Amino acid sequence: MTKKLYIETVGCQMNVLDSELVVASLRKRGYELTDRRPKADVLLFNTCSVREHAEEKVYSALGRLKHIKRQHPQKIIGVIGCMAQNHQQLVFTRAPYVDLVVGPGQLHQIPDLVDRIHDGAGPQMEVSLPRKGYDRAAIERSFESYDPLRNPEMRPSAYQAYVRIQIGCDKFCTYCIVPKVRGPEQGRSPQQIVAEARQLADEGCREITLLGQTVNSYRYTDGGRTTRLSDLLYMLHDVDGLDRWKFVTNFPRDMSDDLLQAVRDLPKCSHYLHVPAQSGSNRMLERMKRGYRVEEYREMMVRIRETIPDATVTSDFIVGFCGETEEDFQLTKDLVAECRFKNSFIFKYSERPGTKGAELYADDVPEEVKKRRNNELLEMQNSISEEDNQLRIGETYQVLVEGPSKSWLKHGEDGAPLQLTGRTNWDHIVVFEGNQRQIGQFLPITIYDANAFTLFGEVVTRHVAPEVYMLTAP
């Protein structure tokens, strides 16, 4: 009988990709995926540490497995990813029935560790080195880029895939746990990246999203030659079968002109840039140690608009960071009003033990104030998104059709016509009526309605007019 694997993933796109790869490696050992926890022989939680809430949710999910483990002690429960690296031994302390703890830099070990636990070796933990106390090369080696096998079945759509181009982060923003749990910034070799893109294209994938924590800081030096992200984009352009790509997440200070020009000049590149500002107040940006002032962010926006006039830009913001006053928050609102982002992801500050922010500043903005600021900013952003989306009514876009829309999957079984979803070259989500055969194709869609999050359209059909014969008298 085949063994069954259940995996739950929270967090960012990096984690989604990691889960795809972990599943692929366990399939090779004979595991089959199940979406039912009680059926699984191995249960993995791929975790996130960016906010406390995400970690607490994993502990409550683990809590619910306690009795299953008591009844079926042979089942293997694993915590992998960022929280595994962040909490290490603490995971076993808080959930003593966990068998496996593996950090994001050690995921390649999972199949062997699972075998070892099976063979009775007891709980296993593999994590990377801390960022202090060792030399850089040793720390880098302990965080291995994990990109072995691709698994089309684990992807949300067979026509789209993530490709990692960089691991880790060296920016050390004071609120952020990522440099600690994902290790030093390291670029993957362009040859490996291009080979992987080729393989994905051969498997039928039409769009890829290049991933890096600060993707536009990407650098790879070999034999005295340095490849930048812009160079890499030119190399990817030659991959046959691949029609479109984008890259996330950008760091404002590294948004160089050569990159913007590459985005402008390469027809396969989406005109979409995710460049988190985090705050509109210089006092906050300084405390966050973001390395730029708001004037520089504005100047970057001007350069984006000048080089790629039709680009859509999205951002992240943290509200209620340590010491944030109403004046600081107003400056963030001013920036959102001025930049008219396509959308923004807004987060309430969550103190992360082990960061400089937790060490240096008090988390002194009350929860209700954080909540209120979050809602206010979100409301403001949503009305901007809605206004700008409505300006797109009547336009026609080439949309890469991803599959059935979420709402159709939820409610569509009662015979409603198939609703498909896809994205434009500017990363707008478009929903329209269609058929199965259209999935994976680029289709022209004309937009007839829009809200803050979605454009609604219909497929442009060419009308073949009946031929008209002029009956003229001889």
- Please name which of 75, 114, 103 lies closest in space to residue 18, comparing C-alpha atoms: 103
Q: How far is the CB of 12 from ligand 5AD (least distance, A)?
A: 6
Q: Which two tokens stand for residue 423?
A: 């994205």
Binding of ligand SF4 at residue 319 (CB under 6 A)? no
User: What are the helix (H) ranges across 28-135?
Assistant: 52-63, 66-71, 82-87, 89-94, 110-118
Please say which residue, 91 or 318, places its beta carbon nearer to ligand 5AD: 318
Please say which residue, 229 or 400, places its beta carbon nearer to ligand SF4: 229
Distances in whole angstroms, Cα of residue 10 to Cα of each of 4, 49, 51, 182, 303: 20, 10, 11, 15, 35
**Spatial distance between the Cα atoms of 378 and 343, rounded to a whole number of angstroms:** 9
State which of residues 3, 37, 141, 171 lies at the interface with ligand SF4 (CB under 6 A).
171
The binder of 213, among ligand SF4, ligand 5AD, none, by C-beta within 5 to 8 A per type, is ligand SF4
248: Cα within 13 Å, side-chain hemisphere: 17
Please say which residue, 321 or 456, places its beta carbon nearer to ligand SF4: 321
Task: Please answer whether residues 382 and 203 qualify as being in contact, where contact means their C-beta atoms are separated by less than 8 angstroms.
Answer: no
The binder of 216, among ligand 5AD, ligand SF4, none, by C-beta within 5 to 8 A per type, is none
Q: What are the phi and psi torsion angles at 124 (to 5°)?
A: -125, 145
The binder of 347, among ligand 5AD, ligand SF4, none, by C-beta within 5 to 8 A per type, is ligand 5AD
Specify the stretch interacting with ligand SF4 by CB under 6 A; choose among 146-154, 156-164, 175-183, 438-446: 175-183
Please say which residue, 249 or 374, places its beta carbon nearer to ligand SF4: 249
Beta bridge partners of 318: 347
Q: Which two tokens stand for residue 377?
A: 């900013």
Please say which residue, 31 or 175, places its beta carbon nearer to ligand 5AD: 175
Nearest-10 crossing angle of helices 229-236, 257-265: 20
Q: What are the phi and psi torsion angles at 147 (to 5°)?
A: -140, 60
Q: How far is the CB of 88 from ligand SF4 (least distance, A)?
A: 20
Contact residues: ligand 5AD, CB under 6 A: 50-51, 175-176, 276, 278, 316, 318, 347, 349-350, 352
Please say which residue, 83 or 173, places its beta carbon nearer to ligand SF4: 173
Binding of ligand SF4 at residue 214 (CB under 6 A)? yes
Binding of ligand SF4 at residue 172 (CB under 6 A)? yes
Interacting residues with ligand SF4 (CB under 6 A): 169, 171-173, 176, 178-179, 213-214, 251
